[in-house]
Structure 1
Amino acid sequence: MIHLAEIKKESRILTVLAMPIVFSQLLQMSTSVVDTVMAGQASALELAGVGVGASIWVPLFLFLIGSLSALTAYVAQLDGAGKWSEIPNQVIQTFWKLTLFIPVSIIIAVYIDDIFRLMQADPEIIPIATGYFRALIWGLPAVLGFNVLRYYCDGLSFTKPAMLASLMGLLVNIPLNYVLIFGKLGFPKLGGIGCGWASTASFWVMFLFMLIWVIIRKEFHPTRLFKEWYKPNRLHISSLLKTGLPIGMAFLVESSVFSMIALFLSKFGYIEVAANQIAMNLVALIFMLPLSIGMALTIRIGNSLGKQQPIMARHIAFIGLGIAILIGIVNGGILIVFNENLVRLYNSQPEVVQLATWLMVFGIFFHLGDIIQATCAGILRGYNDTQVPMINAIVSFWLLCLPLGYWLGMIGFNNSGPMKATGFWIGLVAGLFSAATLHFVRFLYLSHQTIKHPQTASSAQSI
């Protein structure tokens, strides 16, 4: 039984932890919003090009940062157990792990135009999408390095540095977007491709800011990060991969569905792609608040398990899930009231506005399902449980969401004709609620087992 005093106390702790994460996520998401809005102001074609380019970049990016994100729970559990001397090696090995991903990303960039042609994207869109993606690849090492340092800071419950770094990145991104998209101050007019170069510059600013911050700030001195540089350790890296790759795979499974939808819709022209991109961008933006609650829960639960407090970890999970659902209901009300007004911030072309406004009706249900599944996924990461959530994601998104969406979107119910974007959004809602249910059931089982066998409460260990 959770007492009211415990709910109030934990709500305050989660709020303190989550608010900087909220602003960090919003600021990072604002980079994508700025790209979308400014590209949309240039033209619907440029907007569609950015949307199709992002359809490959986003899954790749999320897979990579997801694969690195296991560091947060490791650091939180080691911090809770007071094993600070073991933290630097975990961080350095995660940096070594990062270097494994760069060559694969470069290969994808080399053949990206062939990928778009294979997906039968609109020929008008391909040059913009290709240029946008290749520009972003130059910023990939920086944004991955930034996230490693962020996971280290978050695991120690210092969530403010990432917020400040993200603010710096946005302050760089906005003026550069304007200059490069529209060809100001003597720069060539690059259109949507300019968004990619502006984002790359902001990634490097964020990484350098975080690096300097963790080196000079005294609150990080007890862990002695970078005082010693550890050589690559196969056992450490394989353990981090074993925990992290399923997280990255789960991110990839979900995001790849969104991206494949954008690519499938490109066959119907830029109106469908642009409207879908706007709707996706809006639900992603308001999703940042409950997502941050899930990230805070990873830290709090990991810390509690490190202290051998499995009952407290379960209580924290329930409190955080309740807060996230409440936030989701409020966000849904905002979507209902300001639906069309929000869409018009991106693009004023009547056909795009009409379709995007209609898709936002499904976006309300999309948002609620996404909140529950993402919060539960954050809870499970606090338990270092990543393989079962990956299987849940595969079942929900690849075996339910995508086939259902493709059937409705490309063929139509009872062969009545393709429902296009509407059909795919129906599939998305079904997939998200499936994932939410499976993750929640997994949490109930895992938390019960952890309480029943307290010796398994902390899975962080020196490897």
Structure 2
Amino acid sequence: MERTNSRKEKLKQLFVILLPILVTQLAMYGINFFDIMMSGHFSHYDLAGVAIGSSLWVPVFTGLSGILLAVTPIVAQLVGAKESKEASYSVVQGVYLSVVTAIFVIAVGSLILNPILNTMQLETEVREIARNYIIALSFGMIPLFVYNVLRSFIDALGKTRVTMMITLMAVPINVLFNYLFIFGKFGFPELGGVGAGIASAITYWLITLIAVFVIIKLEPFTQFGVFKSLPGLSLYKWKEILMIGVPIGFAIFFETSIFSAVTLLMSTFDTATIAAHQIAINFASFLYMIPLSISMALTIVVGFEVGAKRYRDAKEYSWIGIGLAVILSIVCGFILLQFRKDVAAIYTKDPEVLNLTIDFLIFALFFQLSDAIQAPVQGALRGYKDVNITLIMALFSYWVIGLPLGYILANYTDWSAFGYWVGLISGLAVGAVCLVSRLIFLQKNKLSPSLSEE
């Protein structure tokens, strides 16, 4: 990355970093998308099972891997301050921490998976598919967590095209193994939705090995010497990562887990409603990749400028990113409104599920604006390493406002299952307002005195 002096230069550099991140996020999302979509074409039971399994897995993964995202602002600020040796050391410690985290997830998951699924009023076949899908995924957890650290390091250097190319390779690999294991082609066992979990685990191992090769063999990563020597565990560095990462991870978890909580509460509805709800959530998550990518790009550029103590530039980057996200969300909303029937048809041919999905997708329109504000603001705040208040705001807006309101509307009004969506939208809106207020406060009251130096 380079220092920028004008708004035009900032917008250009932001795009250079953002576009590969967006492609990367879409590709990572594509793995989950193809798992659900291809399972849906096997049977609606497999669609519901994989969707349920995914709804339980995604918040756990995003929340805990969110802890590892602390590597991005840490490395970005160290690079901005020209401390490359310390940056390399931080990456190695992040890898150690990622392995321990993955092992912890697997151990806890083995104890609580069955009790969680048993609390859901699912048909037996759907429950078994969800359970075995998650078990299959667990074989890829360690490499996936490691990959998130390596990706954070690569992205923090501004080389987001590299992670884009790695992740793009993952999509066709995942689709191929999905085809083989879901439908039992070329002598492979026909496993339905469970085969999607096996395919994803294989894919995670491959992209992690590719990332390790890139960091060892290619410039500018080789000059950091990340794997030339493996220092011992540093509890001090783990503490630094966790002090930043835990609030990030829990904030992400509170946001993503609310969707899983809704799925658990909606288990009282029939399988078609559950499947339609999960399809709409899945596609809303697809659109969320745009503001999420802008958020990740802002963490990099804001962290770089803060590390160099150029606070005016960091502030300008923040608002450029937020404005861009809002504009793109409006465009996506209009597109979804026009083509929601076609979107639903991508996932299923079942008439009942199809019609319900079309209705659910209307509510997905209202997700876009709130997501377009709150996600980039979170990214900017992470660039400042300001994460604790964000955690509290996420807990309040999603779990104190969003979920209770959704439960009331779904169970005590005529909104039925759609009531949960109204609650989710309300929680996102409150979160967006709170986060913007925090960013304005931070920039005005804490950073203003330093602006004069630039």
**In the alignment, which residue of structure 1 is the partner of 2:28?**
28
Q: How far 1:24 moved relative to its partner?
A: 0.3
Q: CA deviation at 1:235?
A: 1.2
| Residue 443 of structure 1 pairs with residue 435 of structure 2 | no
For residues 197-255 of structure 1, the C-alpha deviation after alignment (integer angstroms, 9 at most, x for no partner) is: 00001101110111101110121133221222121111111121111011110111111
Where do 1:424-439 residues align within 5 Å? 424-439=420-435
After TM superposition, the structure 1 = structure 2 runs for residues 184-223 of structure 1, keeping only pairs within 5 Å, are 184-223=185-224
Aligned to 1:124, what secondary structure does the other structure show? helix
Kept in 1, the 8 Å contact 2:99–2:145? The answer is no
The aligned counterpart of 2:343 is 342
How many angstroms does 1:109 deviate by? 3.4
User: Which segments of 5 or more consecutive residues in structure 2 lack a partner in the other structure?
Assistant: none
Alignment correspondent of 1:76: 76
Counterpart CA distance in 1 for 2:131 and 2:384 is 39
* CA deviation profile, 1:313-345 (whole Å, cap 9, x unmatched): 111101111011101111101101111111111
**2:255 aligned counterpart, secondary structure:** helix
Task: Give the TM-score normalised by structure 2.
Answer: 0.96
Aligned residue for 1:228, secondary structure, equals coil
Q: How does 1:372-411 map to 2 (within 5 A)?
A: 372-409=373-410, 411=411
Cα deviation per residue 1:370-415 (whole Å; 9 max; x = unaligned)? 1211111111111111111111100011101111111112x122xx
Residue in 1 that maps onto 2:91: 91
Partner of 2:275: 274
What letter matches 2:14 in structure 1? L
CA–CA separation in structure 1 for the residues paired with 2:189 and 2:196: 13
Q: CA deviation at 1:453?
A: 4.0
CA distance in 2, matches of 1:85, 1:293: 28
DSSP-derived class of the 1:345 partner:
helix
Which residue identity is paired with 2:202? A
Matching residue of 1:263? 264
**Alpha-carbon distance in 2 for matches of 1:237, 1:108:** 21
* Structure 1 runs (4+) greater than 6 angstroms displaced: none
State how far apart, in whole Å, the 2-side matches of 1:169 and 1:64 are.
22
* 8 Å Cα contact 1:412/1:423 also seen in 2: no
**Native 8 Å contact 1:297 1:382 kept in 2:** yes
- Equivalent residue, structure 2, for 1:168: 169
CA contact (8 A) 1:48 1:125 kept: yes
| 2:325 and 2:372 in contact (8 A); partners too | yes
Q: Contact conserved, 2:102 with 2:145, CA < 8 A, in 1?
A: no
Matched position secondary structure for 2:385: coil
Return the letter of the residue paired with 2:62: L
Partner of 2:419: 423
Query: Residue type of the partner of 2:277?
Result: N
Amino acid at match of 1:438: C
Helix, strand or coil: the match of 1:125?
Answer: helix
Q: Deviation at 1:127?
A: 0.3
Cα distance in 1 for residues equivalent to 2:367 and 2:67: 25
Structure 2 matches for 1:289-368, cutoff 5 A?
289-368=290-369
Looking at structure 2, the residues matched to 121 and 256 of structure 1 have their Cα atoms a distance apart, in angstroms, of 19
Secondary structure at 1:420's aligned position in 2? coil
CA shift digits 1:94-148 (9 cap, x unpaired)? 1121233233322343231221002333333110000000000110001111110
Whole-angstrom CA distance in 1 between matches of 2:430 and 2:125? 37
- Aligned runs of 1:13-52 on 2, under 5 Å? 13-52=13-52
Quick check: 1:265–1:273 contact (8 Å CA) kept in 2? yes
- 1:460 is matched with none
Supply the RMSD in Å over aligned alpha carbons: 1.5
Q: Could you say what secondary structure the match of 1:24 adopts? A: helix
| In structure 2, C-alpha distance between the alignment counterparts of 1:305 and 1:223, rounded to whole Å | 21
Offset at residue 83 of structure 1 (A): 1.0
CA–CA distance in 2 between the matches of 1:11 and 1:343? Answer: 35
Q: Distance in 1 between matches of 2:33 and 2:166?
A: 17
The one-character-per-residue Cα deviations of 1:418-447 (angstroms, maximum 9, x if unpaired) are x33301100010010111111111101111
Compared with structure 1, are the counterparts of its residues 432 and 44 closer, same or farther at alpha carbon in structure 2 (3 Å cutoff)? same
Q: CA deviation at 1:279?
A: 0.5
Aligned residue pairs, count? 447
- CA distance in 1 between counterparts of 2:395 and 2:109 reads 26
What SS does structure 2 have at the residue aligned with 1:367?
Answer: helix
Structure 2 counterpart of 1:15, one-letter code? F
Report the secondary structure of 1:219's partner residue.
Answer: coil
More deviation, 241-250/226-235: 226-235
Query: Which range moved further: 83-92 or 221-230?
Result: 221-230
The alignment-based identity, stated in percent, is 36
Q: Is 1:101 aligned with 2:101?
A: yes
- Matched to 2:232, the amino acid is K
Q: CA deviation at 1:164?
A: 1.3
Contact 2:103 2:142 in 1 (8 A): no
Letter in 2 for 1:365: F
Summarize deviations over 1:15-44 as a string: whole Å, max 9, x none: 100011011001111111111110111111
Does the Cα contact within 8 Å between 1:25 and 1:292 map onto a contact in 2? yes
Residue equivalent to 1:412: 412
- Checking the alignment, whether the CA contact within 8 Å between 1:122 and 1:267 is kept in structure 2 is no
* Cα contact 1:122–1:266 (8 A) shared by 2: no
2:285 counterpart of 1:284: yes
* Alpha carbons of structure 1 residues 351 and 178: separation in structure 2 relative to 1, 3 Å: same
2:126 is matched with: 125
